[in-house]
Amino acid sequence: MALLEVKKLKVYYQTGRGVNQAVDGISFELDQGSSIGLVGESGCGKSTTVKGIVRVMPTNAFIPEGEVYFNGSDILKSAEKEMRQLRWRDISIVPQAAMDSLNPVYTVRNQFLEVMQLKGDLNKKQALVRAKELFALVGLNSDLLNYYPHQFSGGMKQRAVIALALALNPRLIITDEPVTALDVIVQHQILNELKELRQQLGLAMVMITHDISVVAQTCDQIAVMYAGKIVEKGKGKQVLKNPLHPYTMGLKNCFPNLNQPNKELIAIAGSPPDLIDPPPGCRFYERCPFAMTQCQLEEPGLEELESGHLSACFLREDIDQYRNKAKEVETWLQVII
Ligand code: ATP
Ligand code: SF4
C-alpha cells in the first residue's frame, strides 16, 4: 500500500470573475521512503495541490472532487481535529518562503521548544535534547539555538526550518520551493542534505519546485504540471533524459545544464491559459510547437507510453524526432502567440 495516494484531486478557487480550476484532477502515488517532485512554472497549481492534500487552504478554496489516502485512510474525509494531529506528527511542511516562517522576536530555541511541547507532548528537558539532536542532524551547531532568526544566514535558516519540520518524526515531508532563495552552492548542499536525511530516516517527500534541475538532484519520481494538470509523470531519469511531453522538453531548455554550460537557454513563448475559462483541448496548445488540429478540439489523457512513464499528449510515436526538434531555438520561435 502506498503511503500517499492522490486520486483525481481537484482544488478550485472561487473568485470575483468565476471559479479558477487551479488543480484539475491530478493523481499520483508515493511509497514510504520515496520522493516525488512536482515541477512546473508559476501558477500551474503546485502549491494549491499541497494545500489541498493537507487541507490548509484559503477560505475561497474548495475541493469539488478527489480522494487523498494517507496510510490507507481518505484524509479528505477526516475531521479537522484528526487533521490537526496528522499535520506535524505524520505530515510536515516546509512552506514556501520557509526562511521567513521563523518568528523574528523569539530565539530559535524557544520556537523549537514550543512546537515539541505543544505538538509532541515532550517536557522542556526532553524538547531541548531533541532540538539539539535535530540541529546536529541538519549540520548546525547546537549553540545556534540561542540565536534569533536574523542572526542566521539564509542557508542556516533553511536548515533550521527543515530541522523543525522533522521535530516529531513525520513519515512524509512536503517542501515548497525549499532552495529557491539560496545561492547555487548552498542550494546544492541543502538538496544533498535533504536527500541524505530522507534516506537515513526513511522519509517520503513531496518536493515542489519550478526548477527541473532541483528535482533531478533530489527526487525518485517527477510529475510535471501544466495549467492545473499533470502532463508527464515517471521516474526522474526517464522524464529528464527522455521527456515525452513537449512542455517538459521546453521546460528542460529553460534551465542551465551542468554538462553543457554553454548551451543557450530557450524560453517557451506566451503564458498558460486562464484557468477560470480553460480551453477545451490540450491546455498547452497555444504554446506548443508541435500542435495539431486535434489538440485544439480534444483533451489528451495521461497515457503510459513506456513502463511507468506517462504523457498527456497526442504525440505517441517517433518521439525522438520531436525531442531533437525541441532542442532547437527555431522550433520555439515558430510558435506565434
Ligand atoms: P508558484 O510557483 O508561483 O507558487 P504554483 O504552481 O504553486 O505557483 P498556485 O499558487 O497553486 O501555483 O496557483 C495556481 C492557480 O491558482 C493560479 O492561477 C493562481 O493565480 C490561483 N490562485 C492561487 N491562490 C489563489 C487564491 N487564494 N484565490 C484565487 N486564485 C488563487
Ligand atoms: Fe502539443 Fe498537441 Fe501534445 Fe498538446 S497534445 S502538447 S498541443 S502536440
- Specify the residue for cell string 520556537: 111
Q: Is the CB of 46 under 6 A from ligand 1?
A: yes
Q: Is the CB of 43 under 6 A from ligand 1?
A: yes
Relative to the alpha carbon of 224, which ligand is closest? 1
CA dist 174 and 154 (Å) reads: 19
- The 10s digit of each residue's pLDDT in 124-181 is 999 999 999 989 888 899 999 999 999 998 888 888 988 888 888 899 999 988 777 6
CB 19 within 8 A of CB 221: no
pLDDT of residue 128: 93
User: Count of residues for the chain?
Assistant: 337
Nearest to 263 by CA among 319, 192, 213: 213
Q: Chain-wide mean pLDDT for the chain? A: 91
Ligand 2 atom with least separation from CA of 245:
6
- 90-118 as b/e: b if 16+ CB within 10 A: bbbbbbbebbebbeeeebbbebbbebbee
Ligand 2 atom with least separation from CA of 285:
7
pLDDT of residue 262: 64
The whole model's pTM is what? 0.93
Tell which one of 226, 284, 293, 336 to mutate to probe ligand 2, the residue whose CB is within 8 A of the most ligand atoms. Answer: 284
When mean pLDDT is compared over 86-95, 190-199, 279-288, the highest value belongs to 279-288
The grid cell for 240 is 529528464
The rounded Å distance from CA 300 to ligand 2 centre is 8
- Specify the residue for cell string 481537484: 10
Question: Torsions phi, psi of 319, nearest 5?
Answer: -65, -30
Q: Is the CB of 48 under 6 A from ligand 1?
A: yes
Tell which one of 282, 294, 299, 325 to mutate to probe ligand 2, the residue whose CB is within 8 A of the most ligand atoms. Answer: 282
CA dist 134 and 120 (Å) reads: 14
CA dist 197 and 300 (Å) reads: 38
pLDDT of residue 13: 98
Relative to the alpha carbon of 305, which ligand is closest? 2
- The 10s digit of each residue's pLDDT in 219-265 is 999 999 999 999 999 999 999 999 999 999 999 888 766 566 667 77
Least confident span in 27-31, 114-118, 303-307: 114-118
Q: Is the CB of 45 under 6 A from ligand 1?
A: yes
pLDDT band of residue 197 (cuts 50, 70, 90) is confident
When mean pLDDT is compared over 102-106, 224-228, 265-269, the highest value belongs to 224-228
Strands annotated E in the chain: 4-15, 18-30, 35-39, 61-70, 73-74, 91-94, 172-176, 204-209, 221-226, 229-235, 303-306, 309-311
Ligand 1 atom with least separation from CA of 272:
18
Strand partners, 73: 70
Would the pLDDT of 41 be above 80? yes
- Please tell me the residue having the least CA distance from ligand 1 atom 31: 13
Tell which one of 12, 21, 41, 42 to mutate to probe ligand 1, the residue whose CB is within 8 A of the most ligand atoms. Answer: 42
CA dist 284 and 157 (Å) reads: 38
